[in-house]
Amino acid sequence: MISWNIHCDTNCSLCSAALETREHLFFKYDFSLNVWRQILKILKIQRQVYSCDQEIMIAAQMCGKKEVVAQIYGMCFTEFLYAIWLERNARRFQHKEKDWMQVYREILDRVSCRATEAQRLLLIM
């Protein structure tokens, strides 16, 4: 929006302490980092959180695979992005705030509801 000369608040809606870029919002700010780290942990994926572009590339590769873990990864990644965006909008427009663990649990609930029995087993084992 800034590149189109549309006036808007450029501060991060989650922390108000940085420029609100997709990199910061989804993969650099502690709130989002904690949520994504916890998701990787439950999927038993041991690695650091990478840059936004790298995370998107990994998710795209996973979504092209047929393994159950890859399917659940894609679902978690999609729900993660959506949940962070909802939290961003709730804070910006409704002045409502959740903690990261609550957002994480809501992501798992939504993924569990959509998952098959085989996919759900990955989340609870």
Write out the residues near Zn ion by the rule CB under 5 A: 12, 14-15, 18, 29
Residue whose entry in the numeric block shows the structure tokens 């957002």? 103
Residue closer to Zn ion (CB basis): 25 or 111: 25
Shortest Å distance, C-beta 29 to Zn ion: 4
Q: Which position's Cβ is nearest Zn ion?
A: 12
Sign of the alpha-carbon torsion through 9, 14, 16, 19: negative
Residue closer to Zn ion (CB basis): 16 or 116: 16
CB atoms within 10 A of CB 17: 9
Shortest Å distance, C-beta 50 to Zn ion: 18
**Residue 11, strand partner residues:** 19
Residue closer to Zn ion (CB basis): 18 or 45: 18
- CA–CA separation, 24 vs 110, rounded Å? 24
Backbone angles phi, psi at 11, to 5 degrees: -70, 145
Shortest Å distance, C-beta 15 to Zn ion: 3
Residue closer to Zn ion (CB basis): 15 or 90: 15
